[in-house]
Amino acid sequence: MGESGGIEGGEQRLELESFNRAARFLRSIMDIDELLHAILEEGVQAVRGTRGFIGLVNRATGYLEIRITTGQGWDEQPVRKFLITTEPGHGITTHVAATGEPYVSGDVRRDPHYLMFFPDVRSEITVPLVNRDGRTIGVINVESEVPNAFSQRDLQLLSALANQASIAHSVANYRAREAALIEIGNELASSTDMGELLQKVVQRTRELLRADDCSLFQLNPDGDRLVLRATGELMEHRIGELTYRLGEGLTGWVARHETPARVANVRDDPRWRGLYPALPSETVEAYLGAPVLVRRQLWGVLRVLRRQSGSSIVPNDFTERDEALLCTLARQVGAAITQQTLVDRQLQMERMAAWGEMSARSAHMIGNKVFAIKGQLNELEYLAGRPEFSPDQVRDVVQRAKNTVFSLEEILAEFRDFLLATNLNRKPIDLNELVATTVRENSPRGSLVPIHLDAVPELPTVSADPAKLKRALSELLENAVTHQQEGGEVRVVTGLWGPEQREAYPAVRAPAGGSGPLVRVEVLDRGPGVPEENKQRMFNPFFTTRAKGMGLGLSIVQGIIQAHGGTIAEVGRPGEGAHFVVVLPAVAGVIGH
Amino acid sequence: MYRILIIDDEEEIRDAVARRLRREEFQVEQAGSQEEALQKIAAAEPPYDLILTDMVMEDPDSGVKTLEAALSRDIFSEVIVLTAYGNVGNAVECMRRGAFDYIEKNIPGVDVYELLILKIHQALERRRASLQTLRRYGEIARRERIELPGVGAA
């Protein structure tokens, strides 16, 4: 605001007032466009112009883009951007954007830089918006129909307003970056999957730093190579493949020295290797990389690249503030990875605990069965040693021993199915055919509990492991039958999963992701149903209301369904029978069509 | 004839043990759950001489609860605890509280049923001895009371 000191005397009171108004406004307004608009209005009024605009430099394209306008005729003017150049005849404003020097023209028709935009213009005054780094970020332009309309004082006044506009612009940028940083922090903290987390990091960093590419490289376990872990669509196909030796290229340099690197013109830097086939070396302009440390150890490198802008005189490099921002992001990534590793370790421990429980339980159950078999053998030995040997008695004990061995095998099968539930051997299948076969195989003749099938024909194909899916369905059918000892009925329904079902069964959380169709299989019985408190935990391992088996049945079913990318839920009303809903993702198209 | 209650949630085990015990001419009853066991212990008349109980995985206190029920019904009831894999700690706790012994169901190379019969005979022997001692004390007490000067005359 040093310029305001140059304005003296009563006749300038009006200008000083308008300047102060703008200053107050600047402090009170949050919206940058509104603020720029106010500054432009004040400027045009203060220098008695007829028309004006604020243009901002787009560094990525090298164009000056009109952001705010005031005065007549703009609606009929379709051109909104100009390539920034110092060549004459391309416009006074692009000249100012290129040189960063203010410009006053009293007679535009004789001005070598003038490019006619509106026929009524005689005078023009243009001042640059310069940011803290001394870069021209835009211009304020005011025109007049009067020749020699603008004085040196007008230039000072407009420059002071331009100064305010660039401060406002910086503040707005700061706010946007701060908000984005907080958002990224929250996103990273809530991320539960490492791959997803890293992908979010590169996407957000690219947006925030307006980069053409952002990639995250991770140090391999041997500590001698950096491997591409996450990136944008340009190099997505090279994830896990593209590597740098430690020390090789700029990224390798950042890793070796654990120091950020900022290079304005990569081809002038001897460290630059440009190994990205998707980003030809000759198009890349600027490089910015920062080390990612996890618990003070080098984890990898986060780096961004910018292409050259369309204008040879508009640099598209990274600033010191960009570097500070990238370093902050790299620190956030490091913290998030630390957090994620801790969570992963926790999950690992929980899995180990589940394994421990699984082993203890199976040992207990197998031990019990073996104990029973020992008893039966003890009896056989006794019977064999008696003088009045009875084959019938022996046969009876042998039968009981066999049954015990069978139940031992059931436990082992359950154990195996639990372990292998997620190990699929997929192929395209006709769901209706699979359901029909399973129903047939589970319907013994003269059963007290008939199973009815109600299938919607021509369902889309499902990519599934038929044996596993049958195993899951059989378990549901078997459950339904066992819960209706006195007789009853089981109904199996197939169909598409659409908005109607979604609304009817809000408890079913349909599979997320993928845009393909969804299909459903429902199993309904007339048994006692599932009490509300068991609806969730009935799918936990070892949950059982029966003495038979290990209580892995439904957790195996859930494991199989989830491995297929599907979901299962029980939606029946307690007391009115159980109602299981299985939703599976399908692939478009019907087998045989 | 001695009355024995077998408690185990697995029918095959109850059946195998019951058959072996009947060979010894014990009178055997069964309970398939903790609840049923407590009911039978409370209702038994006369009380069971011996109770053979499994430690249920779902309730680590099941052995202790059965033991307490048995002893409060008849302080000289004998309790033997059967343990499957991993429950020895609880069985030892039962012994501290007055169980006769515990037997692990799966001892490699041992016919646990014969071991069980041996333990049962030992336990019943102890019960017999205890009851005999009790009877003798009763007799002494009666005699003492009679011989106490002034008591009988009063």
pLDDT one-digit tens code per residue, B86-130: 677 778 888 899 999 999 998 888 899 999 999 999 999 999 999
- CA distance, residue B113 to nearest chain A CA (Å): 6
C-beta separation of A310 from A249 below 8 A: no
Please name the residue that has the structure tokens 């007679």: A107
Do residue A374 and residue B111 have CB atoms under 8 angstroms apart? yes
Among A362, A364, A370, the residue to mutate for chain B (most B Cβ within 10 A): A364
Do residue B86 and residue A360 have CB atoms under 8 angstroms apart? yes
Among A359, A361, A366, A368, the residue to mutate for chain B (most B Cβ within 10 A): A368
Do residue A364 and residue B23 have CB atoms under 8 angstroms apart? no
Residues of A in contact with B85 (CB under 8 A): 360, 363-364, 367
Work out the angle at residue B29's Cα, subtended by the Cα atoms of residues B27 and B33, and round it to the nearest 5 degrees.
160
Residue A574, helix vs strand vs coil: coil
CA separation for the pair A303, A217 (Å, rounded): 8
pLDDT higher than 50, residue B150: no
Do residue B85 and residue A363 have CB atoms under 8 angstroms apart? yes
A310 or B4, greater pLDDT: B4
For chain A, what is the total number of helices (H) and then of strands (E)?
12, 19
User: Which residue in A364, A378, A403 is closest to B20 by CB distance?
Assistant: A378
- CA distance, residue A481 to nearest chain B CA (Å): 22
Residue from A564, A473, A490, A494 nearest A527 by CA = A490
- CA distance, residue A484 to nearest chain B CA (Å): 22
Residues of B in contact with A404 (CB under 8 A): 12
Q: Which residue is closest to A543 within chain B, CA to CA? A: B58
Q: Is B88 on the interface with A (CB under 8 A)?
A: no
C-beta separation of A551 from A542 below 8 A: yes
User: Which residue in A364, A379, A404 is closest to B85 by CB distance?
Assistant: A364
CA separation for the pair A520, A510 (Å, rounded): 10
Do residue A367 and residue B85 have CB atoms under 8 angstroms apart? yes
The neighbour count for residue A216, using CB atoms within 10 Å, is 24
Residues of A in contact with B15 (CB under 8 A): 372, 400
C-beta separation of B18 from B30 below 8 A: yes
- CA distance, residue B110 to nearest chain A CA (Å): 10
Residues of A in contact with B116 (CB under 8 A): none
- Dihedral angle sign, alpha carbons of residues A188, A193, A199, A203: negative
CA distances from A560 to A426, A462, A491, B10 (A): 12, 14, 21, 29
Q: Which residue is closest to A402 within chain B, CA to CA? A: B12
Residue ranges for chain A with pLDDT beneath 50: 1-7, 593
Q: What is the ipTM of this complex?
A: 0.84
Residue A412, helix vs strand vs coil: helix
CA separation for the pair A472, A431 (Å, rounded): 13
C-beta separation of A431 from A521 below 8 A: yes
C-beta separation of A70 from A55 below 8 A: no
User: Which residue in B15, B84, B113 is closest to A368 by CB distance?
Assistant: B84
CA separation for the pair A268, B117 (Å, rounded): 93
- CA distance, residue B47 to nearest chain A CA (Å): 27
- pLDDT of B57: 52
CA separation for the pair A110, A105 (Å, rounded): 9
Q: Is B17 on the interface with A (CB under 8 A)?
A: yes
- CA distance, residue B76 to nearest chain A CA (Å): 28
pLDDT higher than 50, residue B148: no
The neighbour count for residue A514, using CB atoms within 10 Å, is 11
Residue from A524, A515, A522 nearest A585 by CA = A515
Tell me what percent of chain B is helix, strand and coil, each rounded to the nearest 5: 50, 15, 30
Do residue A371 and residue B105 have CB atoms under 8 angstroms apart? yes
Do residue A374 and residue B112 have CB atoms under 8 angstroms apart? yes
Q: Which residue is closest to B56 within chain A, CA to CA? A: A364
Do residue B13 and residue A547 have CB atoms under 8 angstroms apart? no
Residue from A5, A69, A32, A28 nearest A165 by CA = A32
The neighbour count for residue A264, using CB atoms within 10 Å, is 16
- pLDDT of A444: 78
Give A433-454 as a DSSP string: HHHHHHHHHT--TT-SS-EEEE
C-beta separation of B29 from B40 below 8 A: yes
Among A378, A386, A406, A545, the residue to mutate for chain B (most B Cβ within 10 A): A378
Q: Is B109 on the interface with A (CB under 8 A)?
A: no
Q: Which residue is closest to A546 within chain B, CA to CA? A: B9
CA separation for the pair A63, B5 (Å, rounded): 95
CA separation for the pair A218, A48 (Å, rounded): 60
Residues of A in contact with B13 (CB under 8 A): 368, 371-372, 375
DSSP A29: -
User: Which residue in B23, B85, B87 is closest to A382 by CB distance?
Assistant: B23
Which residues on neighbouring strands pair with residue A219, listed in sequence order?
Answer: A226
Provide the whole-model pTM.
0.54
Q: Give the pLDDT band of residue B58 (cuts 50, 70, 90).
A: low
Q: Is B86 on the interface with A (CB under 8 A)?
A: yes
H or E element that contains A362: helix A320-384
Which residues on neighbouring strands pair with residue A585, listed in sequence order?
Answer: A518
| Residues counted in chain A | 593
Q: How many CB pairs under 8 A join A and B?
A: 60
Do residue B20 and residue A375 have CB atoms under 8 angstroms apart? yes
